[in-house]
Amino acid sequence: MRGGWRWLLYVGVVGLGAFAATQAWSIRGGDKAEELTIRVWKQRHEMWLEDSDRILKTFQIALGKDPTAGKLSRGDGRTPLGTYYICEKRPRSRFHRFLGISYPNVDDAERAFTKHLITADQWADIFFANLERTTPPWSTLMGGRVGIHGYGGRPRIAADWTQGCIAVSDADIDYLYDHVPLGTRVVISE
């Protein structure tokens, strides 16, 4: 059965590792991360920060140079599609501040594995990072270091210009950085 070993790994880890994953989730963001969601609509160039069912703030966004397709490989200029979490916070970056998202997730890894872009070991590394809510490997052929960042003091650009990240104004990334803990869910839709 093709992919059978991955399914067995998944079942075994979920059965044995549920407690560890819960602990990692609480350590990385706690209850506040479970209440917050960042929702991105690529076609509308809009992002919301939600607290349960209440919208706290909306943001205008710029995306990767090919904004309609989902990300598959390093350098493709695409913003991913799917459900992720904030896995890293950098107070200083080339674009002011940076909130790393957990691309690639397990679905991304499965697609890449079937296209022979990653090895079984890389698939497993991505799987375990997502299970533990840590930063997945960003050095595979799938690419990585995708996140939400500011403009870094540059003027707002009307066109999509990032390498796959989600860009907001520097004031907006300051707000997000201060209000969004590690572990916050990020849902990126078309």
Q: What is the mean pLDDT of the chain?
A: 87
Residue with tokens 């674009």: 95
More confident residue, 136 or 157: 136
Beta strands in the chain (DSSP E): 36-41, 46-51, 54-60, 82-93, 96-101, 147-149, 166-167, 185-189
Burial of 183 (0-12, 13-18, 19+ CB in 10 A): buried
Q: Range with the lowest mean pLDDT among 18-22, 56-60, 140-144, 151-155? A: 18-22
Residue 24 has pLDDT above 50, yes or no: no
pLDDT at 9: 59
Q: How many Cα neighbours within 13 Å face the side chain of 129?
A: 24
Q: Range with the lowest mean pLDDT among 24-38, 81-95, 149-163? A: 24-38
157 vs 159: CA distance, rounded Å: 6
Q: Range with the lowest mean pLDDT among 34-38, 39-43, 68-72, 118-122? A: 68-72
C-beta separation of 41 from 189 below 8 A = yes
pTM: 0.83
pLDDT at 3: 53
How large a percentage of the chain has pLDDT more than 90?
72
C-beta separation of 78 from 69 below 8 A = yes
C-beta separation of 79 from 166 below 8 A = yes
The pLDDT-based confidence of 70 (bands split at 50, 70, 90) is confident
The domain that contains 165 carries what CATH number? 2.40.440.10
Question: What is the sign of the dihedral through the CA atoms of 114, 85, 80 and 164?
Answer: negative
Could you give the number of structural domains in the chain? Answer: 1
Give residue 107's domain range: 4-189
pLDDT at 91: 94
Residue 108 has pLDDT above 90, yes or no: yes
Sequence letter at residue 190: E
